[in-house]
Amino acid sequence: MVDVFHVFGCFCWLFYGFYFHVFFGGMIIQVIGLGVVGKAQAFLLSSLGHKVYGYDIAKVKAERYFDVVQSPVKDVDVTFICVPEKVAEETVAGLVDAGVGGLIVIKSTVPPGTTVSLMSKFGVHLCHNPEFLREKVAFDDVLKPSRVVIGQCCARHGSVLLEIYRSLQAPIYVTDPTTSEMVKLASNTLRAVNITFWNIIHGLATELLVDTRDVADMADPVKVLGEWEGGGWGVKMFGRPYDGKCLPKDMNMLAETLRSNGLDSSVIDSMQKFNEALKLNNGKASP
Ligand SMILES: NC(=O)c1ccc[n+]([C@@H]2O[C@H](COP(=O)([O-])OP(=O)(O)OC[C@H]3O[C@@H](n4cnc5c(N)ncnc54)[C@H](O)[C@@H]3O)[C@@H](O)[C@H]2O)c1
- pLDDT at position 236: 56
CATH number of the domain that 85 lies in? 3.40.50.720
Which of 149, 175, 201 represents a domain boundary (last residue)? 175
Model confidence at 238, in pLDDT bands (50, 70, 90)?
A: confident
* Residue nearest (by alpha carbon) to ligand 1 atom 3: 135
Which of 175, 203, 224 represents a domain boundary (last residue)? 175
Model pLDDT for residues 69-108, shown as the tens digit of each residue: 999 999 999 999 999 999 999 999 999 999 999 999 999 9
pTM comes to 0.90
Residue 102 gets the label, from left (phi > 0), alpha (psi -120 to 50) or beta, of left
Same domain? 192 vs 276: yes
> For residue 249, which atom of ligand 1 is closest to its CA?
43
Same domain? 135 vs 245: no
Mean pLDDT score across all residues of the chain: 88
* Residue nearest (by alpha carbon) to ligand 1 atom 29: 57
Same domain? 49 vs 157: yes
Same domain? 28 vs 148: yes
Q: Is residue 42 part of a domain?
A: yes
Residues 6 or more apart from 40 whose CB is under 8 A from it?
A: 131, 133, 138, 139, 141, 142
* Residue nearest (by alpha carbon) to ligand 1 atom 21: 35
**Euclidean distance between CA atoms 236 and 223, whole angstroms:** 13
Alpha-carbon separation of residue 70 from 56, 59, 65, 66 (angstroms):
8, 9, 17, 13
> For residue 130, which atom of ligand 1 is closest to its CA?
7
> For residue 250, which atom of ligand 1 is closest to its CA?
43
Q: Is residue 219 part of a domain?
A: yes
Q: Is residue 286 part of a domain?
A: no
Give the chain's domain count.
Answer: 2
Give residue 125's domain range. Answer: 19-175
Same domain? 170 vs 186: no
Phi, psi at 118, each rounded to 5° = -70, -35
